[in-house]
Structure 1
Amino acid sequence: MNTENTPALEIVDATLELGDGDSRVRALDAVSLTVRAGEFVAIVGPSGSGKSSLLAVAGALSNPDSGSVRVHGTDLSTLSKGASAKFRLENIGFVFQSGNLLPALTAADQLRLAGRLAGNRKVDAESVLDSVGMAHRAKNRPGHLSGGERQRVGIARALVNAPSLLLVDEPTAALDRARSHEVVQLLADQAREQNVAVVMVTHDHDVLEHCDRVLEMVDGSLGAVRTA
C-alpha cells in the first residue's frame, strides 16, 4: 500500500460533532492535515480542544460527519466495521499514555500477540525490541519495568506490524523530564529509520524540539505553531 508519493495520512475538511441536544459540540471543525512518511508531527492544545477526536478519526476508530480521511490512499469511510478493524491492525500503530501493556505477558509476548492479531505469526520480537533499546528486557513483565521502559515496549508493540502510521497519545504523561525526552527522541528516530508517519498528541511543550512540525488545536480547529 505504501507508495512514494501518497501521503501516509490525509485528512480533508473533517467535521465531527459529539453529544446530544444542547450538549452537542463540534469536536472537529473542517480540519485538514497531511502527514508524509517519515514525518513527525505534534498536536498541542488545551483539554477538550479536539485532539483525541483527531486521533480517533485518523486511526479509523470513528468516522467524521463530513470530510474524508485517507491512510496511504485508502478512504477509511469505505471500510466496513470488520475491514476497519483489520486495516487498523495491519496499517496503524497506537501508543497510549500508560503503555496499556498486558500485565501477565512478557515484553516479547506483548509483541507476539500484536503480531498474531494481525495475522503475522513470524514476529521477531527480540529484533523489534532491540530497535527501541529493550532487547535485554524481552522476558520481563510490565510490573518489573520502569515507566520509560514500558513506553518503549509500547512503541515496539505499535511498530511490530510495520505500520504506515503511528498515532501517539500523551506518551510522556507519567515520565520525568529526562525519560520524556528519551521517549520522544525514540519516536523521532523511528519516524526516520522506519519511514513511518508519526502524529503525537501532547501537553508537554518541553519535548517539541524533536518534532518536524507542531500544530495547535483550539475549539476543534487546527493551525500551525511551527513548521519544518
Structure 2
Amino acid sequence: MNTDTTPALEIVDATLELGDGDTKVRALDHVSLTVQPGEFVAIVGPSGSGKSSLLAVAGALSNPDSGSVKVHGTDLSTLSRGAAAKFRLENIGFVFQSGNLLPSLTAADQLRLAGRLAGNRKVDPQPVLDSVGMAHRAKNRPGNLSGGERQRVGIARALVNDPTLLLVDEPTAALDRRRSHEVVQLLADRARDGNVAVVMVTHDHDVLEHCDRVLEMVDGRLEALAGWARAARTLDTASPQ
C-alpha cells in the first residue's frame, strides 16, 4: 500500500488542441486538476467534450500544448517516448470499456503478462485476482467470463504493478445496473484500501454515488457537476477556468 502524500495526479493549466485548420478544436482549455492518493474522482460530460483527451494527458499518452502534468511528482513532459512508456507500465494502470483482455490468455496470464512488460517476472496473480473476487476464475479465458467478470480481471491487471494512478474509461458501458454498481464499488474500495488515485470517465450518472468527487467536462473545461452536492462542496482541488 502506497502511503506517500505526494499528489498522485497534478494537472496545471493544461491546454491541448487537436486537428488542423478549420477542423482544429481545443480539447483541453486551461484544465487544472489535483487528485490525491486514495481519492476516487469521476469525470462526466458529453461526447467530444475532452474527457478522453484528459485521460490521454494524465496517462502520458500525449503531452499538452501548454501547462504541466505530473504523476506522483514526475513531470511527464520531461520523459522521452521510451521513458514515458516505461513510466506508464510501472506507475499508471488503465481500465478500458470492455476489459480489453487478450482472448488467448487466461485471467492469471493476463496479469503475468502485464507484470513482465513492466519488468516484473515474479508476479503472483492469485492475490490480485482474489482482491477483485476473481481468484476462482484464474484459469478461465475471456470468452468464458461474463462482462462483469472481464471488467474485474481488467481491473486486476491494471493493479498488478501497484500503480500510483488508475485511469478508467467507461467501465460500465456494457454492463447492467447491478454489475455496474459492483464494478464501480470495487474501484472505490481499491482506491481507499490501496491508497490508489482513481480517475474515471463515465456517462453513467447512476454510479456517481460511489465517488468522492464528480466533475464535468464542458467544451474542454472542468466544471462542478450541477446538482451533485458533494462535488460542489469538495471542488477545491480542481481549478476550472
- TM normalised by structure 1 equals 0.98
Equivalent-residue separation in structure 2 for 1:113 and 1:25 (angstroms): 37
Match of 1:220, as an amino acid?
G
Is contact 2:99-2:150 (8 Å) kept? yes
Equivalent-residue separation in structure 1 for 2:195 and 2:137 (angstroms): 25
Equivalent-residue separation in structure 1 for 2:5 and 2:187 (angstroms): 23
**TM alignment of 1:51-62, pairs within 5 A:** 51-62=51-62
Inter-CA distance 8–97: structure 2 relative to 1 (3 Å threshold): same
Aligned equivalent of 2:65: 65
Aligned equivalent of 1:99: 99
Matched, 1:77 2:87: no
Aligned equivalent of 1:114: 114
Is contact 1:49-1:220 (8 Å) kept? yes
Match of 2:73, as an amino acid?
G
Aligned equivalent of 2:6: 6
Equivalent-residue separation in structure 1 for 2:114 and 2:5 (angstroms): 29
The Cα of 1:5 is off from its aligned counterpart by 3.1
Match of 1:191, as an amino acid?
A
Matched, 1:25 2:25: yes
Equivalent-residue separation in structure 1 for 2:5 and 2:127 (angstroms): 29
Is contact 1:129-1:138 (8 Å) kept? yes
Q: Which segments of structure 1 move beyond 4 Å, counting only runs of 4 or more? A: none
Segments of 5+ residues of structure 2 without an aligned counterpart are 226-230, 235-241
Is contact 1:3-1:72 (8 Å) kept? no
The DSSP-based 3-state class of the residue aligned with 2:127 is: helix
Equivalent-residue separation in structure 2 for 1:85 and 1:139 (angstroms): 29
Equivalent-residue separation in structure 2 for 1:194 and 1:61 (angstroms): 24
Aligned equivalent of 1:185: 185
Matched, 1:215 2:215: yes
Segments of 5+ residues of structure 1 without an aligned counterpart are none
Equivalent-residue separation in structure 2 for 1:218 and 1:42 (angstroms): 14
Matched, 1:174 2:174: yes
- TM normalised by structure 2 equals 0.93
| CA RMSD across the alignment | 0.9
The DSSP-based 3-state class of the residue aligned with 1:139 is: coil
The DSSP-based 3-state class of the residue aligned with 1:162 is: coil
The Cα of 1:52 is off from its aligned counterpart by 0.1
Aligned equivalent of 2:37: 37
Q: How many residues align?
A: 227
Match of 1:90, as an amino acid?
E
Same amino acid, percent of matched pairs: 88
CA distances 1:145-196 after superposition (whole Å, capped 9, x unpaired): 0000000000000000000000000000000000000000000000011100
The Cα of 1:3 is off from its aligned counterpart by 6.5
The Cα of 1:124 is off from its aligned counterpart by 1.1
CA distances 1:94-151 after superposition (whole Å, capped 9, x unpaired): 0000100000000000000000000011111011000000000000000000000000
The Cα of 1:20 is off from its aligned counterpart by 0.6
Equivalent-residue separation in structure 1 for 2:56 and 2:22 (angstroms): 23
Aligned equivalent of 2:201: 201
Match of 1:6, as an amino acid?
T
Equivalent-residue separation in structure 1 for 2:139 and 2:3 (angstroms): 36
Aligned equivalent of 1:164: 164
Equivalent-residue separation in structure 1 for 2:24 and 2:136 (angstroms): 49
CA distances 1:45-77 after superposition (whole Å, capped 9, x unpaired): 000000000000000000000000000100000
Is contact 1:12-1:67 (8 Å) kept? yes
Match of 1:83, as an amino acid?
A
Aligned equivalent of 2:131: 131
